[in-house]
Amino acid sequence: MKLNKEEDIIVEGPCEIKILTGNIFIQGKEFGDIAIIGKGTFSVSTNNIAEIETNCNILAKISHLGWDEIISQIIQTEGTTIVLGSNDSGKTYFCKTFINKTKNITYLTADVGQPDIFIPTFISSKIFPENSIFNYTEFYGYTSPSYNPRLHVEQTSKIYEKTKSKINVIDTDGWVRGLKAYMHKKELIYYINPDYILLFDERLKNDLPSMFQNRIVIVNKIPRFLFKNKLERIRSRREKFIKYFRDSHILEVNYTDVFGSRLNHNLSTAWGDMLQFEYGECYGYFIDKSIIKGALVALLNSGKISGAGIIRNINEKIEILTPEKKADGVILGSISLNDNFEERSLRLLKCY
């Protein structure tokens, strides 16, 4: 099979590509002999002409995406790049390609629903080529920035300032429709003040502030048939939770670390407000006990988030399922996971 620089092929792995002549590029990596591809879909391109043999499932031939060329130009000038577009337009794949082409880079994933670093509900950064899971993370606590846009912007900006380097790339979520989404992304851009704004949707361009228009680069998106639907995105989040909590144990923390002072098995108090776990005559706030057992939490060590946990039981101590070895602080999130790691919203309800 022959490839030329005007077109890419989309392949599905796991599979193998043998390069007979020329060279090929997959997610920013150059191959001149054999390319072993893992599970998933990948774009394959060449910078001239190449001939290959493969057992990959070839899903499509498309016009050359041109991502490698854009990334190479940005690397020459350095600076910060923020990537904007709808769900599954190729933003995360683009960022992975970016990382593979430069190696020395700070990667920040602000997509709390489909993060490439750590697990959903967290905003995280990783400095390459270091081997840690993340270098810094903040617990947003929900799977969409629409839940609390201002908090999302503040946490993303904080992480950026703490971990930025000469070259930075910021992956964002797919919330790009509606006035609130526009206000959120505009505020994020103002705070970050990026050198490059990569848009996977040209329709977003004209509404952005005039001061940023000369920083915009329009990027070709991946074919629409590769987009995930809502159920597939939920399934992807579940798989990330399962993987993280696979080798977990029970860690006990003090009741007051989470809910304040315990009055009885059903009631606690914190700074003048009551919190109860069984509905009845209600004063203060209420959380359903069946949902609080499963609440996703962030765990802290010495004032820094070190990992995540799931509340499993509430007694004199709070029992938390986690792969982490220790914690001296707990932050309660806004989702709960059942025994199958399926997510539900967790909300404090005001009693009336």
DSSP for 279-311? -SS--SEE--HHHHTTEEEEEEETTEEEEEEEE
Torsion angle of C-alpha atoms 321, 325, 331, 333, degrees rounded to 10: -40
What's the farthest any 2 CA atoms get from each other in the chain?
A: 77
In the chain, CATH 3.40.50.300 sits at: 67-229
H or E segment and range at residue 95? helix 91-102
Give the pLDDT band of residue 123 (cuts 50, 70, 90).
very high
pLDDT for residue 182 = 96
**Residues 248, 253, 257, 258, CA torsion sign:** positive
Give the pLDDT band of residue 229 (cuts 50, 70, 90).
confident
pTM of the model: 0.92
Residues 3-39: pLDDT tens digits?
A: 999 999 999 999 999 999 999 999 989 999 998 988 8
pLDDT for residue 25 = 94
Cβ contact 229:221 at 8 Å: no
Average model confidence (pLDDT) across the chain: 93
Q: Tokens 């270098």 identify what position?
A: 135
What φ, ψ does residue 200 adopt, rounded to 5°? -90, 10
Give the pLDDT band of residue 279 (cuts 50, 70, 90).
confident
H or E segment and range at residue 98? helix 91-102
pLDDT for residue 146 = 97
Weakest-pLDDT range from 133-142, 264-273, 315-324, 336-345: 264-273
Pick 38 or 217 by higher pLDDT: 217
pLDDT at 159 over 80: yes
Pick 221 or 249 by higher pLDDT: 249
Cβ contact 201:85 at 8 Å: yes
Which one-letter amino acid corresponds to residue 284? G
pLDDT at 154 over 80: yes
Percent of the chain exceeding pLDDT 90 equals: 78
Taking residues 139-157, what's their average pLDDT? Answer: 97
Taking residues 43-48, what's their average pLDDT? Answer: 93
Cα separation of 24 and 83, whole Å? 25
CA 65, 57, 237: angle at the middle one, nearest 5? 75
Residues 298-314: pLDDT tens digits?
A: 999 998 999 999 999 99
What φ, ψ does residue 265 adopt, rounded to 5°? -65, -15
Q: Tokens 């990948």 identify what position?
A: 42
Cβ contact 330:257 at 8 Å: yes
pLDDT for residue 288 = 86
Nearest to 277 by CA among 269, 295, 265, 260: 265
**What DSSP designation does 64 have?**
-
Any idea which architecture 67-229 has in CATH? 3-Layer(aba) Sandwich (3.40)
Residues 74-103: pLDDT tens digits?
A: 999 999 999 999 988 899 999 999 999 997
Cα separation of 149 and 186, whole Å? 11
Residues 324-344: pLDDT tens digits?
A: 999 999 999 999 999 999 999
pLDDT at 277 over 90: no
Cα separation of 95 and 108, whole Å? 10
CA-derived radius of gyration, the chain: 23
Cβ contact 107:126 at 8 Å: yes
Residues 6+ apart with CB under 8 A from 333: 121, 139, 141, 142, 295, 296, 297, 298, 346
Residues 97-120: pLDDT tens digits?
A: 999 999 799 999 999 999 999 999
